[in-house]
Structure 1
Amino acid sequence: MHAKDRYCRVLGFFSIFVLFHCFPSPCCCAIYNITSSQALSQGQTLLSASKIFEVGFFTPTNSGNKYVGIWFNKPISTSKVVVWVANKENPLAVTDSAATLTIGSNGNLNLLDGKENSVWSTDIPVPSNTSFAELFDNGNFVLKDSISGQVLWQTFEHPSDTFLSKAKIGFNVKTGERFVLTSWKTETDPSPGNFTVGLSHQRPPQALVWINGSTRRWRSGPWDNTKFLGVPQMYPIYLSGFKLTDDVDQGTTTLSFDIGDYYHMFISSEGVLKAKKKEKDTDWYTAWQAPNSTCEAYGVCGPYAFCKTIELESTVCKCLKGFVPKSKEEWSKGNWTGGCVRRTKLLCEKNNGSSASSGGKKDRFWKKSTLKLPDFYTLVPPVDADSCGRWCRSNCSCIAFAFVDGIGCLIWSNDLIDIQEFPDGGQDLFLRLAHSELVGGQQLKKVIISLAAICGTAILGGLFLAWCRLRAKQDGKIKDTMNYFDLIEKSDNSRDNLRRKELHDPSELAIFEYDTMLVATNNFSISNKLGQGGFGPVYKGKLKDGKEIAVKRLSCNSGQGIEEFKNEMILISKLQHRSLVKLMGCCIYEEEKLLIYEFMPNKSLDFFLFDPRRRSELSWATRFKIIHGVAKGILYLHRDSCLRVIHRDLKASNILLDAKMNAKISDFGLARIFEETIDLANTQRVVGTLGYMSPEYAMGGIFSEKSDVYSFGVLLLEIVSGKKNNSFHYRDQQLSLIAHAWQLWSECRPLELIDETLADSYCSSEVIRCIDVGLLCTQDHAIDRPTMPQVVLMLSNEIDRPKPKQPLFYSQGSLKFDLKPQSVTKGSTNEATISMIEGR
């Protein structure tokens, strides 16, 4: 062998040696358990089986200390998401490179510094010489006996600041143990901070955030077996999430959850409880946090007052009925912590707490709805609402009560504190008040009697005559209205009619004079015209008191107008929700039929969404708010209103926008009422708008709540993309908007659907969430679509969502209809509402 060849071979071996020793493979630094013969050294990590979590040494940013902890493996963000710390009170020096985590002779996990001094230990009660430690895929670091398999110690029983899936927080009444989360002192110092999270010992329990272990900072409200009542985002269908378990034998009460591996909750060093989630190939984002507003801070309004958030940001405190501010001066400065005091003493108090059966009129109860119930409740035996009320009325110590499904009868005997009023949902609270607070006091009666004596018989007689004439005139208008509806009832035998007995009596609506409408709309001037719908033209008007209104006028040549007028007038008067347009009254004069609504200054959603110049005015935050508003409005129609209503014509032109761009669902002319026991219906008269109608309804006349869900899904995709489903084209292909969205989603390119006018000013996780929900809602088969409670939950929270299925109809031309010309009515300037179609 030549010297040159020998030299090259030696050089080659040397190069390989350098590569393997100076640049070791990452996998050689990972181990999968710790035993008495295999310690965890610096530069190594202990991995869980699926490599979701790892244990190792870490140093927080800008810190001179070193710790052993558990964190999510392969984080997207630059910093580790640490979920547990061993030696949080005894850090190692950052310069100590010889520290190890090992198993000692007594079977304990020991953290030894470079001088082999014990810095931290598991301190198991029974020694074991066959123990080993491993990390599970749920983040639980467990010390086990290799022979018996017994768990000797685990991190899930010694939580740090983070609550992981399948972990538990709570307490043991027999041993006195508490399983709580404790915040870090600062973001870079994991030593115990000022805030803890755990469960209260009340029955039923509630989740609490404490300051310094005793002062309450936030509470969740009581657990009702499916959710915490004070957290509106938790719906009963959140069954994939939280579970509260009472083990009487063990004496434990624990809370756990299971929402997937990449989801965790933690208490920040500032005392904010946060839930974070990570989707595939995305960074961590905050899915929920509390307290999230001033109203959610514990007791911000003091005793006997409730907090209400106005327009998402402004906060206001109000005294409960029968109470006044304790200090008007402090109250006027916005310092509400002093709360309110009772204005009129209770009869119970006057009788020293005995039964209020002697002297004076009995105390009564006032109902306040949509509340986060006060703190310091007591669960008492009554098992139904009536007996709960009787129990409280018969006990003078009971100052308020509430009967909650899933819990039972809750009563309050002390100051009512930490009450919040929700926009919707919440619970009913019945508050004990003096009789005069509800029916008027003796002073008011004396004033009325005195005024009557002074005014005299003549003035009273004049007022009485004037009232009689006014009542007669009003009765005449009501009679005309009732007669008008009687004629419709007799002449209309359609199966689509609403049953009169189920609806609001038209006489309960405000009846406007026709002359008043002429003055308000300037004789229905063309300059006052706001738009044109299937019902007829809509005009802007102004009443004498300056209130702006919108007047919908029945078109004489609208074939379905009379029925729509009747349907909308009676139905919408029964429905009241912040996401539904408000009907103020009606007017019927000879051939004129008018409906009077609150005025929406920003017109309808399609006015902005489908206009190339105006749609840039719809920021992503505004669009997301509109999506939430419409979803909650539909949820109200389907589940929360006194009637169960299917809208049947949800589309952009029927979503009105108020001055603050809040969405209001309008146009209930085609709506139908469902009985509680019926889930779907069939009609030969298909009504709605092509492009928004579900396949089973368009082709077979079958409609249900899922028909509205489909329409909402189309609307949601339109809001995200700024494109109309009815006139969508992509690179000369006749793909529908739904098919295009699904294609982008299936190719992992969902963000390409976003309206280009938004540029990069949007939250990608919210957009992806909306696209997912839109595709789930527009699935071909109704059974595959979510319900509206599920839709609202998915829009409000980052929870696991099912995968949408591929749509069957890829092109708009795939689904064809024979339209009967005499049955088509114009819906707006850019789309038509079809009152009858037949599939072929």
Structure 2
Amino acid sequence: MGFLPIHRIITLAFCAASLLPSCASDSRLLPNKPLTFGSKLISDDGTFALGFFSPSNSGGNHYYVGIWYNSIPKDNVVWVANRAAPVTDPSSATLALTDRSNLVLSNTDGQPLWMANVSAPGNLPSSENVTGEATLDNTGNFVLRTSEGAVLWQSFDHPTDTLLPGMNLRVTHNRLELQRLISWKGPQDPSPGSFSYGADPYQFLQRFALNGSRPYWRSPVLTNYLMVGSYMESIKSTIFFTVRRIEDEIYMAFGMPGSSSTVKIKMDYSGKIKILVWNSKMLEWNDLQVAPEPECNTYGYCGAFGFCDNTEPVPICKCLDGFEPISKEDGSNGRFPKGCRRKEELRCGRENRFLTLTAMKIPDKFVYVKNRSFEECSAECTSNCSCTAYAYANMNTTAINGDDTRCLIWMGDLIDTGKGKLIGTGENLYIRVNRLSDKKRWGNILKITLPVVSSLLVLICMWLVWICNCQAKQRNKKIWKNMISGALSNSGELEDGKFPFFSFREIVLATNNFSSSNMLGHGGFGNVYKGTLERGKKIAVKRLSKGSGQGTLEFRNEAVLIAKLQHRNLVKLLGFCIHGDEKLLIYEYLPNKSLDAFLFNSTRKPLLHWSIRFNIITGIARGLLYLHQDSRLRIIHRDLKANNILLDDEMSPKISDFGMARIFYGNQQQGNTNRVVGT
């Protein structure tokens, strides 16, 4: 086995030694190892990077030290160190960790452009050197720690325009300053813009977006200290917002547990607060939520005592119940710039009551009263004539603010109120209004009861009409059963037939009120009409002559027999109708009418050449054979003639008119009749 030359061993050892610091410093900035232009730190999981960058449209003469998503190609910067002091010549600029563990960004001349202003931990004298290292964590937080692990400084405590999951935003200023997201000046200009987002400096229960020092959007007031979830349909996941206390201060954070989506909250340079999710397929950021949107939700847009109604298809301003626009011109464009006023002056004392408005975004400029039950909160407002409204919530824990209740009261105008889906589920707002006089109370009662009573009367009338129709149908069925009862069979085997009923109105409409122009023919017991149902189906209607006693028997015979007999050479019965004295049979419509219309018509007779005649003869024979031998009931037609043979559109014959028919049972060879029948 051979050995490597000694100079190669030394070379390999040197290379290995030179690689170790490089690997170890991928996510770390060490003393005496400054970060220079062209190099970067990468978090252990590869999600974030820190280094020098230049906005794509800045002309290449402004460089910044920042943190960005390492694998996302656009709008990826989440933190910038030197926002107000860009580097103009990056060739010799450095980000270094000094001997006193301070982070300093220096330009070519060694002049500091930005520094972290690190203070030593409280257990070490400020003059003593503290060694440590700065690490880019997988959360996107750039953290400077002592060698013992104590945090000296972190980028999460100095946010720029972006809030990342797990990042705490300070919403109180008991000992430390408030934290706010501050927008970029433009899409390619990271310098501080005019828009900012953070907590109300006077009350941490709500957050504001400011344009300079002027509020232009306000969040709903917190109703729960523990957690508020907002389900995002587009990503099928829920974003949770939490409030927590850390030592003397209260912080807000957000996250999306159990989801692999990349999300962030950004104070955009346009003034919009956006919750964004990265779409890896389309390679773009998608909006999950944007505020203020629509314009109606801009701070104070609807004026005093007005509210933005987001439940409308197009959100518009409305006045609260009991209020009206101050200016008659207001409201034409869905806005009340001058606000609303009470319809009648408020009378203090027992003349007042509180109106409950549900699902509301409660107004701004409230007074927070601690340690009150709902009844005590209500009494707090009721006993003070200057109190305009109140709202109450159970906050579920005392750990945040030393009180698990939230009683808010308003002493003046109600500003920036809203209602609807874009502001969550909302809460109850109780506003003071005058108690109604007896006259108005009865007027309101009538407004409610009259429509209800009218609706009930309409429903009762509809029910009565339905009952009458049902009874009429039952009467018709009873008449039908009485007609067929025992008529043709001693065994009653025909009485279980199912016969379709048609309404008389349907038949009148179909035949144009039995118009003579629709008449197809007539016989001893009634006329036959052509008709067309509403769905376009053509029918033939046999109308029994009124008062014909003999015709009733024929009607009964024909309906029962044809309903029981099914053969291609027998006419098909579609149903029947009984309406008072009217009795009608509804058949399939046969366009070529009867055989006699051909045999005894010199013009049409030549159409019956031998093959058609033979087809008609054999068809009639098949029909008679079925009646005499093959059907369950042996039938003797007793009135077979040319005008009772109908022809369909293919000139196939169908036997019709069973009014004279007679049943012969299986063992019967002959029968007698006491009526003269036939032609």
TM-score by length of 2: 0.56
In the TM superposition, what whole-angstrom CA distance separates every residue of 1:520-545 from its partner, at most 9, and x where no partner exists?
xx99x98699xxxxxxxxxxxxxxxx
| Contact residue 346 and residue 433 of structure 2 kept, 8 A | yes
Of residues 342, 357, 364, the one that matches 1:368 is: 357
Q: Does 1:120 align with 2:121?
A: no
User: Which protein has the larger Cα radius of gyration, Structure 1 or Structure 2?
Assistant: 2
Q: Does 1:133 align with 2:122?
A: no
- Structure 1 residue 377: deviation in Å? 2.7
Match of residue 243 from structure 2: 244
Match of residue 103 from structure 2: 109
| Contact residue 40 and residue 50 of structure 2 kept, 8 A | yes
1:189-204 alignment to 2 at 5 Å?
A: 189-201=189-201
Match of residue 273 from structure 2: 273
Match of residue 295 from structure 1: 296
Q: Does 1:422 align with 2:420?
A: yes
Of residues 71, 83, 86, the one that matches 2:78 is: 83
3-state SS of 2:184 partner: strand
Q: Does 1:389 align with 2:390?
A: no
Match of residue 215 from structure 1: 215
**2:533 and 2:25 mapped to 1: Cα distance?**
77
1:416-815 alignment to 2 at 5 Å?
A: 416-422=414-420, 425-436=425-436, 440=440
Q: One-letter code of the match for 2:240?
A: G
| Contact residue 390 and residue 410 of structure 2 kept, 8 A | yes
Match of residue 71 from structure 1: 68
In the TM superposition, what whole-angstrom CA distance separates every residue of 1:69-113 from its partner, at most 9, and x where no partner exists?
0001111x3x351000000000011x4311111112322111111
- Structure 1 residue 474: deviation in Å? 7.6
| Contact residue 382 and residue 391 of structure 1 kept, 8 A | no
Q: One-letter code of the match for 1:304?
A: F
| Contact residue 208 and residue 215 of structure 2 kept, 8 A | no
Q: One-letter code of the match for 1:115?
A: D
Q: One-letter code of the match for 2:111?
A: N
Q: One-letter code of the match for 1:332?
A: S
Q: One-letter code of the match for 2:298?
A: A
Match of residue 205 from structure 1: 205
**1:55 and 1:441 mapped to 2: Cα distance?**
69
- Structure 1 residue 54: deviation in Å? 0.7
Match of residue 814 from structure 1: none
Q: One-letter code of the match for 2:271?
A: G
**2:193 and 2:456 mapped to 1: Cα distance?**
73
Higher share in helix: 1
Of residues 27, 34, 38, the one that matches 1:32 is: 27
In the TM superposition, what whole-angstrom CA distance separates every residue of 1:9-30 from its partner, at most 9, and x where no partner exists?
xxxxxxxxxxx9xxx9xx9898
Q: One-letter code of the match for 1:306?
A: F
Gaps of 5+ in 2: 1-14, 121-125, 396-404, 447-452, 469-504, 511-531, 537-679
- Structure 2 CA distance for partners of 1:479 and 1:389, relative to 1, 3 Å: farther
Q: One-letter code of the match for 1:164?
A: L
| Contact residue 370 and residue 426 of structure 1 kept, 8 A | yes
| Contact residue 217 and residue 291 of structure 2 kept, 8 A | no
In the TM superposition, what whole-angstrom CA distance separates every residue of 1:614-634 from its partner, at most 9, and x where no partner exists?
xxxxxxxxxxxxxxxxxxxxx
- Structure 2 CA distance for partners of 1:136 and 1:474, relative to 1, 3 Å: closer
| Contact residue 303 and residue 339 of structure 1 kept, 8 A | yes
- Structure 1 residue 432: deviation in Å? 0.7
| Contact residue 231 and residue 237 of structure 2 kept, 8 A | no
- Structure 2 CA distance for partners of 1:420 and 1:475, relative to 1, 3 Å: closer
| Contact residue 184 and residue 269 of structure 2 kept, 8 A | yes
**1:363 and 1:84 mapped to 2: Cα distance?**
54
Match of residue 609 from structure 1: none
3-state SS of 1:220 partner: coil
- Structure 2 CA distance for partners of 1:123 and 1:391, relative to 1, 3 Å: closer
| Contact residue 96 and residue 114 of structure 1 kept, 8 A | yes
**1:57 and 1:526 mapped to 2: Cα distance?**
82
**1:130 and 1:89 mapped to 2: Cα distance?**
29
- Structure 1 residue 435: deviation in Å? 2.2
Match of residue 411 from structure 2: 413
- Structure 1 residue 404: deviation in Å? 3.0
| Contact residue 27 and residue 136 of structure 2 kept, 8 A | yes
| Contact residue 56 and residue 68 of structure 1 kept, 8 A | yes
Match of residue 617 from structure 2: none
- Structure 1 residue 394: deviation in Å? 2.2
Gaps of 5+ in 1: 1-19, 349-355, 449-468, 485-517, 530-840
| Contact residue 311 and residue 420 of structure 2 kept, 8 A | no
**1:299 and 1:174 mapped to 2: Cα distance?**
29
**2:535 and 2:382 mapped to 1: Cα distance?**
57
3-state SS of 1:65 partner: coil
| Contact residue 67 and residue 80 of structure 2 kept, 8 A | yes
Q: One-letter code of the match for 1:418?
A: D
TM-score by length of 1: 0.46
**1:364 and 1:67 mapped to 2: Cα distance?**
60
| Contact residue 27 and residue 137 of structure 2 kept, 8 A | no
Match of residue 341 from structure 2: 341
Q: Does 1:399 align with 2:388?
A: yes
Match of residue 52 from structure 1: 47
In the TM superposition, what whole-angstrom CA distance separates every residue of 1:404-457 from its partner, at most 9, and x where no partner exists?
343543322221111112158322222111224896299x99xx9xxxxxxxxx
- Structure 1 residue 183: deviation in Å? 0.7
3-state SS of 1:38 partner: coil
3-state SS of 1:241 partner: strand
Stretch of structure 1 that moved more, 298-307 or 254-263: 254-263
- Structure 1 residue 309: deviation in Å? 3.5
- Structure 1 residue 152: deviation in Å? 0.8
- Structure 1 residue 256: deviation in Å? 1.0
Q: One-letter code of the match for 1:374?
A: P
- Structure 1 residue 238: deviation in Å? 8.2
Q: One-letter code of the match for 2:68?
A: W
- Structure 2 CA distance for partners of 1:193 and 1:228, relative to 1, 3 Å: farther
**2:533 and 2:303 mapped to 1: Cα distance?**
54
3-state SS of 1:222 partner: coil
- Structure 1 residue 293: deviation in Å? 1.0
3-state SS of 2:139 partner: coil
1:819-834 alignment to 2 at 5 Å?
A: none
Q: One-letter code of the match for 2:139?
A: N
- Structure 1 residue 378: deviation in Å? 3.0
RMSD: 4.1
